[in-house]
A = this chain, B = another copy of it.
Amino acid sequence: MESGNLLKRVLVGRALRTDRLNDTLLPRRLGLPVFASDAISSVAYAVDEIVLTLALAGGAAIYLHSWEVGVGVALVMLVIVASYRQAVYAYPGGGGDYEVTRRNLGPAAGVTVGSALIVDYILTVAVSVSAGVQNAAAALEFLRGYESAVAAGLVALMTLLNLRGVRESGRALAVPVYAFLGSIALLIVVGVVQQVTGTLGQAASARYELLPAEGYGELTTLGLIFLLLRSFASGSVALTGVQGVANGVPALRRPKSRNAASILAVMAAISITITVSVLWLTRASGIQIAADPAQLRLDGQPVSEDLVQDTVLGQLSKVVFGTGSFGVLLVAITTGVMLFVAANTAFNGFPVLASRLARDRFLPRGLVSRGQRLAYSNGILLLAGASVALVLVYRATVTELIQMYIVGVFISFTVSQIGLVRHWNRQLRTELSVRQRVGMIRSRTINQVGATVSALVLAVVVLTRFTHGAGLSLLGIGLIGMGMTMVYRYHRTMDQEISLADEGVDASQVVPSRVHALVYVPRLDRPTMRALAYARATRPPTLEAVTVDVVPEATALLHEQWTERELPITLRTLDSPYRESVRPVLDYVRRVRRDRPRDVVVVYVAEYVGREGWWVRFIRDRTLERLRRGLLRQPGVMLVIVPWQGAGLEQAEQAAGEVDA
């Protein structure tokens, strides 16, 4: 424990006092990288997903239809971001999807969105880190084959960074986000200039012939529409992370809502610009990616199954800057690092969400409170564990993880927009100022459009990708939702039982008339002697010692020692015809209570507290534990534990005091 404590200090840093909490709020320029990096970075794999899906219908489909899909995704993004801007104004104390839903649509909808968001955050980390490692592996060949382990290690590193506190991670992460934006801006500007001046080259993959995949050769109009919808659904992964800003509002500096709205606007502009420009340049330079290398032909011949296909950004940077140039390396590295930063969004958002869910009784109370470093440590650790598990199970394969990713995002989009519509309806019911009403009606309209569009996208995603992970994702959301409902019911029942009536005196406030004290004496040793001494110190009106006659020889010996030491307390022997050591005590206590129902029985037990190895619990005598459990189930009983500290406990106690949070 001592070493664990030291390790914690070194890695996590000193504890922060509550009064320094305000210092950790983020300004706008840091809010963008911290909360919007997920949304911005998702364009890195969204364009690939659009191209990959269209490629099923062959190379011509990419050329012909990618712009349509791109425009569709951009339009949806405009609608969704406009919608979220209403949310952050409506709920300046935290305009996240969960908050909005819980308040406007009640706990059932809240738990749905809550579990969808939990799945999302976990997948954000898993997808982003996996994508980041695979990008890095393109430049750093030695990583190949160790992707899972490297990704898991990076999640662990990120966990530590976040346990140190939100502000430091914000600063640490701003540089890479702006570096990514800079290098992508350079790529696009140079590319567009080359295209306009007619000097843009052709991609290496342009020389392949890309055949349609089996079954996609002769698409009907309906088939084509379905494929375009599927491509659009895949491209919608660009929208993931939009909600991160709304969830993060409380961590921003004031004016929180306006800052959040600005961040959303900037984010949308950046994402749309990158998506549309990259798709345009992809088409112009003839970049192709095949879902299955078997679709590719070079001079009429099939290519090797092991062909490594670069990502769209990778191919584009080679076209624009030239293979092997510094620009290619720059784009590859900044993209990789950017994706790690995106995973960090989840580390900032998830603990806030978990804390809110816990406050609303959907999760254990341990998640409510802030850890030593003002970050919500337990939530961070939970997120890290779950995403590492996913990374290891799916061996850091982005394509498989992405399949599950989009569903949860659009469930929470849809439900929370509906919640906002209801919010504005409520506001309109009481608002009299005409000017305010006009603004509210405008907001409501935006949210109505947002809800409709998200619902449509959700329908498309579920219909076109049910067997490709959407089903699994729904199952996960359902299970988490069920778990949270169970927790909620448990907490609610307990609250009802233990909360005080507003007025009057109930049973819990009745002071018992007398105290009847018993000391449990299994044998005569120092812990028991101390229990007897402490019991005497409380000067109870009646005090007796009780022992259970399990082994007659031992009981006889005990009585002998008792007499010899002239102990000034009566020792009562309880019969135990069935050699039980616990039940006779419980029966006796019950009997005492029955005879004096208005009294309270106090049972003193000695407990040896030692500095013990992990294995000791497997061999420890369970009698005390069973006695404790049995006594606590009886009304009118108090259990007093008198500890006896074993040798070597002093250091152990100090260590425990230090790590105690």
Give the B-binding residues of A (Cβ under 8 A).
Answer: 15-19, 363-366, 369-372, 486-487, 490, 493-494, 497-500, 506-515, 524-527, 529-530, 532-534, 536-540, 550-551, 577-583, 586, 600, 602, 607-610, 612-613, 615-616, 618-622, 626, 628-635, 637-647, 649, 652-653, 656-657, 660-661
Contacts and interface: CB of A to CB of B under 8 A. Distances in A.
Contacts of A641: 628, 632, 638-641
Contacts of A645: 633-635
Contacts of A608: 494, 497-498
- Shortest 4 CB-CB contacts between residues of A and residues of B: A364-B619, A508-B526, A632-B643, A508-B529
Contacts of A577: 17-19
Contact of A540 (B369, B512, B538, B652): B538
Nearest to A367: B619
Contacts of A550: 369
A497 B621 contact: no
B656 A630 contact: yes
A541 to B, nearest CB: 9
Contacts of A525: 498-500
Identical chains bound together, number: 2
B660 A633 contact: no
Contacts of A620: 364
A615 B363 CA distance: 12
Contacts of A371: 579
A490 B611 CA distance: 11
A652 B633 contact: yes
B506 A526 contact: yes
A598 to B, nearest CB: 10
Contacts of A580: 660-661
A615 B483 CA distance: 10
Most chain B CB within a 10 A radius of its CB, from A16, A638, A639, A657: A638
A490 B372 CA distance: 36
Given A370-B579, A509-B529, A498 B644 contact: yes
A526 to B, nearest CB: 4
Nearest to A639: B641
A536 B510 CA distance: 10
Nearest to A578: B15
Contacts of A494: 608, 610, 646
A621 to B, nearest CB: 5
Nearest to A621: B365
